[in-house]
Copies of this chain bind each other. A is one copy, B any other.
Amino acid sequence: MSSPKPQEGTCGPTDLVGPESWSKVSCPCCISAQVEPLVLIQLAENVQPNTKQWIMAMISAPQVSGGAGLLAHPGEDASWGRIVVAAPRCSLLKATEDLGLCKADTDGNMITFSFTDRDKFSNIGDMQTFLTLAERQYIVKYALESMRAMKDLRIPGISGDKGVLKSRQSIFQKLQKAGVILDVFPLRHEKKLKALGREWYSQKSLWGQPLDRIHAYFGGSIAFYFSFLDFYTWALVPPAVVGLFITFFLPRWGSTDTPDPVTKPESPDGDGDQSVSGLMVQAVFSMIWSTVFMELWKRRSAALSYHWGSITLTERFQEPRPGFTGILGVNPVTGRMEPLFPDWKRQVRVGLVSVPVVLLFLGLVVLGMLGFYYCEAQMASFHKESGSIITAILSYLPSVIHITYTNMLGNAYRNVAQRLTDYENHREESSYQNHHTTKVLVFTFFNNFAVLFHIAFYKQDLNLLRKRLSSLLIISQVVNQFTEVFVPYIVDRFYSSPEKELKEDDPEADHLQAEGSLPAFPGLFAEYIELLVQFGYLSLFSCVYPLTAVLLLLNNITEIRGDAYKICCLFRKPFSPPETGMGVWQAAFELLGFVSVVSNCWLLLLAPRVKAFTLDAGLNTATVLVYAILVEHALIIVKLILAFMIPDEPDWVRIKREQIEYRSMKAVSQQKVKRASASELPPSKS
């Protein structure tokens, strides 16, 4: 098979082919269209030629007969175990309607795409302008995953149970489970990627990401992550300014308990009142800031969702996710044959297995912490008694053991959380993700904040808290940047260099080879967790260490570039579905906002200044506590009112959304009238 020449004017990611060498298309509209290779399917090495032929035939088969309605290409000579997939125009358009994407009409308004009314939409002639690259690639994945066996059949070239397909079974899932298909990934578009990188991580200016281009190239979920990172970084400016102001221009506000008694000597003269009001202002500011920030982000998120056409995504009745198992039966909702698993069994598994195991791990975290404190105290007294070098070195032992223990526990927990969620046997991908995320979040919170809460509320040592917080912030940033960007960069640069060189020499030939050699993108989970922990440090403990926001701001400016470089250069391009927002992470950030009100309120009470002030004012501890309770409850009420009062979407988005809804309602009712008048009502029999 000779490598076909690239066609003039084709701007596909690999200028692989003209239409002639692709599988036949049944639809008349798509014959003359140029073909753009979008997705690569990686097959196992031992796959038989007739199996590959059958897979390609299924991919090209129309959707009504269980195929994907796509175009398949067997790839070049050297890469036998690969199938390159493209999509004809009408399959792309039909899927756009299925997904409920909005597109700009000829007047420039975004409206839900309708295949019948397709001529109303602008750019409808050119699929590469009408849909983004990420959307086209996601649609291919979606079509591949929709392939179903229409009757019981056997996959050619695969013996035994592995090759048996039951009616309505997902072909793609079966092929993956049977080990025939090893991997599927979207092809990267070198030119676009380089242009994106120039604008994104190589730019000189401090701020501004090309969010629309990120959305076009990488797709919804990734674009939302970077948009949030962007917005969050901007939002850090006010608390950073306040933090700097408090630290450097109003040293008296934080003086009594600064960790730096050399430069700013204690001033015990009666400025307690000012100090207290300063702390108060900061705590209230922090509370209002976190609320307003999340509310404004919701508005920004709604605007982006409109702008990117994902405001009216269709909620579909999903097929079970690949890992789902159960007894074959009829789904009561859809009437399809599929594995069934009763809800109560899942609930029993969650309640009697997952919850106790998670609690056990939380207990282990606490145990480790207590053990650490105990050992440290023992060591310190031991060192005091016999102050030799050996005991001095030994006094570091508890810390080392504790860090090792925490790390091991974290790794074990990640594993366990995955397995527990697998065992819970969720039918829907979204439910699986929610349960998994919740498990990891609970543990991460505990693991990161238990020590800080212990120091703050049990030991009540705000100086130690401040030290711990600042070292955590600085160390974790350095470690993160190092492990996330520097190490992969080095590995990429020096260890995978031969392939790189090859690619530089002949960009066409081994393009697909290079594509496959990059590691898969690990997902945004770890990135979101990192942001959340940061946000936790800031919102939970900010009134103790005003510089938190400044440090986070600096971190985020590098984080944006690091993450951008990582996703562009160090990993294979991931699939990224259209999304309406951050999903479960939105809830996690909002929850943290609530905890922060409580935390700040009680931290304030423990501040030595406040303590001194209340004693000076002749209040006993009980009275102060009662006031604190009142303040806490009032702050929570204020927060709720604020969150309620700021609308979740800007007015113009609301109007646009309502316009879309109104049009679709009108369209449905007009259609009903047409159908009704077509079949006129016969006279009543009664």
State the A residues within 8 Å of B (CB). Answer: 27-34, 89-90, 94, 97-98, 114-116, 125-126, 316-317, 332-334, 343, 598, 620-622, 625-626, 629, 633, 651, 655, 658-659, 661-662, 665, 668-669, 671-672, 675-676, 679, 681-686
Contact = CB atoms under 8 A, between A and B. Distances in A.
A556 B626 CA distance: 38
Q: How many copies does the complex hold?
A: 2
A33 B686 CA distance: 7
Contact of A598 (B31, B333, B633): B633
A66 to B, nearest CB: 16
13 contacts: A29-B682, A89-B684, A94-B676, A97-B672, A116-B672, A116-B675, A317-B661, A332-B655, A333-B659, A334-B662, A598-B633, A620-B621, A622-B625
**Chain A binding surface, main DSSP class:** helix
A661 B317 CA distance: 9
Contact of A333 (B658, B681, B682): B658
Contacts of A598: 633
A343 B652 CA distance: 12
Nearest to A622: B621
A635 to B, nearest CB: 14
A127 B676 CA distance: 19
Contact of A31 (B126, B620, B658, B683): B683
Given A97-B672, A625-B629, 15 more contacts: A31-B683, A32-B684, A89-B684, A90-B681, A94-B676, A115-B676, A116-B675, A125-B685, A316-B665, A317-B658, A332-B655, A333-B658, A333-B659, A333-B662, A621-B621
A286 B484 CA distance: 51
Contact of A683 (B28, B655, B682, B685): B28
B116 A684 contact: no
Contacts of A681: 27-29, 90
Contact of A30 (B621, B659, B684): B684
Given A115-B672, A116-B676, A126 B658 contact: no
A676 B332 CA distance: 29
Contacts of A626: 625
A665 B626 CA distance: 56
A528 B622 CA distance: 39
Given A29-B682, A29-B684, A668 B665 contact: no
Contacts of A90: 681
Nearest to A129: B686
5 tightest Cβ-Cβ pairs between the two chains A and B: A621-B622, A333-B658, A625-B625, A29-B681, A125-B686
Nearest to A633: B598
Given A672-B115, A676-B115, A681-B27, A655 B33 contact: no
Nearest to A675: B116
Contacts of A659: 332-333
A668 B669 CA distance: 12
A596 to B, nearest CB: 14
Nearest to A33: B684
Contacts of A114: 672
A557 B306 CA distance: 53
B33 A662 contact: no
Which residue among A333, A621, A629 has the maximum number of chain B CB atoms within 10 Å of its CB?
Answer: A333
A499 B263 CA distance: 95
Contacts of A89: 684
A155 to B, nearest CB: 29
Contacts of A316: 665
Contacts of A27: 681
B633 A686 contact: no
A334 B97 CA distance: 23
A47 to B, nearest CB: 34
Nearest to A9: B686
Contact of A665 (B317, B679, B685): B317
Contacts of A343: 651
Nearest to A678: B116
